[in-house]
Amino acid sequence: MSLLEQHSFIKGIIPFDSLKKSVIERIAQALDIEYFKKDELLIERDKEAQYLYFIIKGAVLEKNGDEVVSLYADNEFFDPITLVEKRAKHDFICSNETICYLLPKDIFLQVMYENRELESYFFQSIAQKLGANINRNSNSELVNFMVARVKDAYLEEAAIVHEQKSIYECVAMMKEQKLGALLVRCEDDEYAIVTDTDFREKVILQRLDFDTAIGQIATRGLRYVNENEFLFNAQLQMTKYGIKRLIVKDKSGEIKGILSQISLVSFFASHTYALSNEIERARTIAELQKPGKNFVRIVKALYAKGVKVRYISKLLSELNKKLFQKVFDLIAPKGLGESSCLVVMGSEGRGEQIMRTDQDNALIIADDCPVEMRLIEAFTQRFTRILLDFGYPECPGNIMLSNPYWRKNVKTYKHELQEYMDRGDEQSMMYLAIFFDATAVAGKEELLIELKRHTFKTAKTFPQFYSRFAKVALSFETPLGFFNDFIVDKNEHKNELDIKKGGIFPIVHGIRSLSLEYGISPTNSVDRIKELNNKTIIDKEMAGELIEAFNFFLTMRLKSRLEKMEQGIDTDNYINPGNLSKLEKDMLKDSFKVVNGFKKFLNYHYKLNYV
């Protein structure tokens, strides 16, 4: 081949594509081309390799004994780590006739050590590569936002007054110093806050004497945030609690200022605050219609700006909870809020839902609930209809509180949960999985906590339960073929693969199984992974790879769904690998390899071959 063809070949391979033209030419000039027969051994285990191989045509297996560790095909290379460590960990064997470019070891090492980006790439783990890919595709403005800390934002001065100071003196002080709020130190050394709104609604409208102590109109129950916390997490907290200000502290606990909603919006104009405030202000179901139907617009705006899908899902989860809670508060019969708990389940319960899908909810009723069952039934039917009007489709499996099966008292739920574990059939395992992801959104959360504790305790009395429950994670094959190619559908979803069954579900359910076994309470999959790592159930490397692979799957699914929405096609869990860039395809393959590795871990941990 000509030098121009060699230059073009190297230029098209990540991460060499980032090198300067002169460096690529240097590599191209050093390349040799060679033909290898089927089953020919290119690199032998425990021996020192002499070349970095670039496959022009053919396929090479990386094998650890009889086990195939990986497969390399056209336009891929192997094995840089072997050259660095001067010893091959595995054998590399041609699976069929293969033609390769060979780059001498000394040239490769010189180029790598002279180019920091190249060096860092080869020493990255799969998790780091996946994370780097997501960051690479992010809008630079949002990348800055995602790494920005609270202390990077504009903070209002935290002027502090004693609670006995008069309202008049405080207003004069705010005017003179141009403050939007004052912190009030109370007699018990706790802090409260007063804002312009308090003066308008609690003083003027109620004709309060201006000499009244400021403590009488101050609001307690402040929320605090560390100055080194990510700004995005501060936004999540504001959205979750429906507040406009957070009190900022340093690591020693000293108050450094006030982070306002306005300051946050100046960093990130996603309109989520406006939406949250609309929900808060709504006094009728009709007033909830508009914010309830605007969530898709928010998703599109956040995704377009490059925000990671995990953060989008967390933010949308908080907005959904606000909406559901508001509907509950507006239509629930008197007394039900104190004697029941509304929960969302499935991906909504895990805080991983992005695009609006089926309703997955239930009602836990206290054993001594005083509300008549006919009133509860009428409420649940209306609740489901309202969500349907807001664009939340009914669950095809009828897993909704309007179904009597999903509105029961605590005693009955406890009995059912024990029955699920005892039966161990497919539907029982599914119901248990759905319930274990439940999150309270309205009413008395203690009822859900009681049932979760019961679940942890009861599971320990069924020795074979954990293995039966975990085996569901292996229900679907990973859509990655023996030759490192994607296995796609040939029929209804031609040339597409189901990324939920192939990638998302095995991680979600495998992590769910381990969390149930080890008494881990958080429902979010990433939070569960971190807790499992903290408990040393899975090591740091596996945790990092699972988190990044999971986030990558969610990103690819959202990307595909938004593209289908633009085309007027029904959204689903299928993606077309043919529509992905070369880098995205490589990352998708790496992510599926992470899934396969995790499945092996589950198989060994639960001895699933014997179940």
What CATH number does domain 272-462 carry, 3.30.460.10, 3.10.129.10, 3.40.30.10, 3.40.50.300?
3.30.460.10
Mean pLDDT of the chain: 87
Amino acid at 258: I
Bridge partners, 225 (sequence order): 248
> CA 100, CA 444: separation in Å to the nearest integer?
66
The CATH number given to 150-267 is 3.10.580.10
If you average pLDDT over residues 247-256, what whole number do you get? 92
Reference 248, options 235, 257, 261; nearest CA is 257
Q: What residue spans in the chain does CATH classification 3.30.460.10 cover?
A: 272-462
pLDDT bracket for residue 58 (50, 70, 90): confident
pLDDT of the residue at 65: 83
> What percent of the chain has pLDDT above 70?
90
pLDDT of the residue at 273: 57
pLDDT bracket for residue 294 (50, 70, 90): low
Q: What residue spans in the chain does CATH classification 1.20.120 cover?
A: 472-610
Whose tokens are 């001067």? That residue is 86
The residue among 571 and 499 whose pLDDT is bigger is 499
Mention every residue, 6+ apart, whose C-beta is less than 8 A from residue 15.
117, 118, 121
pLDDT bracket for residue 128 (50, 70, 90): low
Asked if the model's pLDDT at residue 556 lies above 80, the reply is yes
The residue among 265 and 434 whose pLDDT is bigger is 434
What CATH number does domain 472-610 carry, 1.20.120, 3.40.50, 3.30.160, 1.10.1760?
1.20.120
Q: What residue spans in the chain does CATH classification 3.10.580.10 cover?
A: 150-267
In degrees, rounded to 5, the angle at the alpha carbon of residue 349 between the alpha carbons of residues 346 and 352 is 85
Q: Please write the tens of the pLDDT for every residue from 144-166.
A: 445 567 886 767 888 999 999 99
pLDDT of the residue at 292: 63
Q: Please write the tens of the pLDDT for every residue from 393-422.
A: 898 889 999 999 999 999 999 999 999 999
pLDDT of the residue at 87: 86
Asked if the model's pLDDT at residue 349 lies above 70, the reply is yes
| DSSP letter for each residue of 484-550 | S-B--BSSTTBT-EEHIIIIIHHHHHHHHHHHHHTT----SHHHHHHHHHHTTSS-HHHHHHHHHHH
Alpha carbon distance, N-terminus to C-terminus of the chain: 55
Q: What are phi and psi of 131, to 5 degrees?
A: -65, -40
Bridge partners, 181 (sequence order): 195
C-beta of residue 230 within 8 angstroms of C-beta of residue 146: yes
Q: Quick one: tokens of 161?
A: 């007054």
pLDDT of the residue at 103: 95
Asked if the model's pLDDT at residue 170 lies above 90, the reply is yes
pLDDT of the residue at 1: 56
Architecture of domain 3-123: Sandwich (2.60)
pLDDT bracket for residue 230 (50, 70, 90): confident
Amino acid at 372: E
Least confident of 84-93, 436-445, 587-596: 84-93
Asked if the model's pLDDT at residue 187 lies above 70, the reply is yes
Please count the residues of the chain.
611
